[in-house]
Amino acid sequence: MFGVRKSFRNRVLGEQEITSEPNLTPLIDVCLVLVIIFMVTAPMVMQAGIKILESQAGAGSGKHAAEENIEVILTEDDKVMLNGQEVLWQDFPLKIRQEIYKSRDKLVFVTADNKNRVGRVVEILDISKQQGAKKVAIISKAEGV
């Protein structure tokens, strides 16, 4: 780590100069190992989540007929409406399974607004996926409506 190096001046005069050069190899090795660890773990972290299709209220109607769509509305007072009919929370998994079974596209639209609890919306998404929904979309209410 420490070496003795003589310059021309020091060789002529007989003096010695001590130089300090840190060894950077261990530091570079540690940095490269950390980069590899982050490259391996980053895709695993990114996959943890719920894939949803998010759209705003007032968007185009799309190619699906209204009767084929499964619409779940979460009211401000935490009541669940399934295709326009109020459903008890206990009966929701069975009812949504029946609707998904009848649906050709198995697409569920969840409508909520900013006043709803996020936890309840996530529960609806989870139950819909568990009961066989292929795709789940969140539709937020337009502001001022």
Q: Which H or E run contains 62?
A: none
| CATH T-level topology, domain 53-140 | Nucleotidyltransferase; domain 5 (3.30.420)
Read off the pLDDT of residues 102-120 as tens digits, 9 standing for 90 and up.
888 888 888 887 777 788 8
Domain ranges in the chain?
A: 2-47, 53-140
pLDDT score, position 64: 47
Determine contact, residues 124/80, Cβ cutoff 8 Å.
Answer: yes
Q: How far apart are CA 143 and CA 128, in angstroms?
A: 26
pLDDT score, position 30: 96
Read off the pLDDT of residues 11-25 as tens digits, 9 standing for 90 and up.
666 666 667 788 899
Mean pLDDT value across residues 124-129: 88
Residue % of the chain over a pLDDT of 90? 16
If DSSP states are collapsed to H, E and C, what string results for 78-132? CCEEECCEEECCCCHHHHHHHHHHHCCCCEEEEEECCCCCHHHHHHHHHHHHHCC
Q: How far apart are CA 50 and CA 15, in angstroms?
A: 71
Read off the pLDDT of residues 26-63 as tens digits, 9 standing for 90 and up.
999 999 999 999 999 887 776 555 565 555 555 445 55
